[in-house]
Amino acid sequence: MKKAIFVLAVLLCRVSTAQVYTHYLENKNAFELFPVLIEDGLANVPVITLPAFDVESLRAEDRKMETVGIASSRFGYGFDVNYTLEDGVWEERENQRLWRLRFFSQDAYSLNFIFSEFTLIPGAEMYIYSRDGSVVYGSVTEKQNIPENFQNFFSDLVRGEEAVIQLFEPTASKTHSKLRISRVVHGYQNSFNVLAKSSAKTIQDTCDYKVACFPA
């Protein structure tokens, strides 16, 4: 269990260092609190449905490790994918271009995304949010672009089995952002319960804690 908490704390540290906030909304009112999120037309946005996998065998492996005193740090199952801005849907809005793509993985406690290419142009903003409005990750801006000595950009965990990635770009820009999603992780363990049960101080001691989560 300690290893599992450590892995999640490291992920939170990555988010904190980049000054990207994750908002957990128990009232599921993301669209009310974040008007920048566009709910209109979501039904027409393509959905990437991840394939089913044998989650029970993974849980059995985790339990087997625990019986011999080894706490598994695994909380999810990763899918290797290859999606870019050529996927999804672009829309022209007033002074802005809007791009969206949805991801669905049945019975997932959470989804998170690994980008192997991540370059946002000045003025661009990206958000990742749960379809039910309970979690908002962002905004992500050019400040989070992958430095030359880094290989990937990791998002935080987005609770639930469906997530939406939304990108705004200024219409006046002559260049375009570049995104490539190379891995999507289906969280089959309820990592939110793990974090909620651990003390905020434990995580704060591990990294500069600036993620807005678990307000209770």
Domain count for the chain: 1
Residues 168, 161: Cα–Cα separation, whole Å: 24
What are the two backbone dihedrals, phi and then psi, of residue 45, each rounded to the nearest 5 degrees?
-85, 130
Domain membership flag for residue 211: no
What is the phi-psi region of residue 160: left when phi exceeds 0, alpha when psi lies from -120 to 50, beta otherwise?
left
The whole-model pTM stands at 0.79
- Position 166 in a domain: yes
Is residue 186 predicted with pLDDT exceeding 60?
yes
* Model confidence at 209: pLDDT above 80: no
Q: Which residue has the higher pLDDT, 10 or 152?
A: 152
User: Average pLDDT in the 8-25 region?
Assistant: 60
What pLDDT was estimated at residue 65? 75
pLDDT recorded at residue 18: 52
Task: Pick the more confident residue, 99 or 66.
Answer: 99
Within 10 Å of residue 86's Cβ, how many Cβ atoms? 8
**Structure confidence by residue, pLDDT tens digits, 18-62:** 579 999 999 999 999 999 999 999 999 999 999 998 989 888 887
The per-residue pLDDT for range 112-170, each reduced to its tens digit, is 999 999 999 999 999 999 999 999 999 999 999 987 767 799 999 999 999 999 999 99
Determine which of 63-72, 85-94, 155-164, 202-211 has the lowest per-residue pLDDT on average. 202-211
pLDDT value at 16 more than 70: no
CA angle, corner 136, sides to 203 and 180, nearest 5?
95
Domain contains 213: no
Expressed as residue numbers, the domain containing 108 is 2-206
- Whole-number Cα distances in Å, 188 to 55, 69, 103: 7, 21, 16
Cβ contacts of residue 94 below 8 Å, gap of 6+? none
The rounded percent of the chain whose pLDDT value lies above 70 is 77
* Residue 12: inside a domain: yes
Look at residue 79 and tell me whether its pLDDT is greater than 90: yes
Assign 119 to helix, strand or coil: strand
Q: Which residues of 55-65 are buried (b: 16+ CB within 10 A; e: fewer)?
A: beebeeebeee
Q: pLDDT at position 140, please?
A: 96
Considering the domain boundaries, does residue 215 fall inside one?
A: no
Residue 123: count other Cβ atoms within 10 Å of its Cβ.
16
DSSP state for residue 189 in the 8-state scheme:
S
d(CA 172, CA 180): 23
Instruction: Tell me: pLDDT of 109 over 70.
Output: yes
Average pLDDT of the segment spanning 197-208: 38
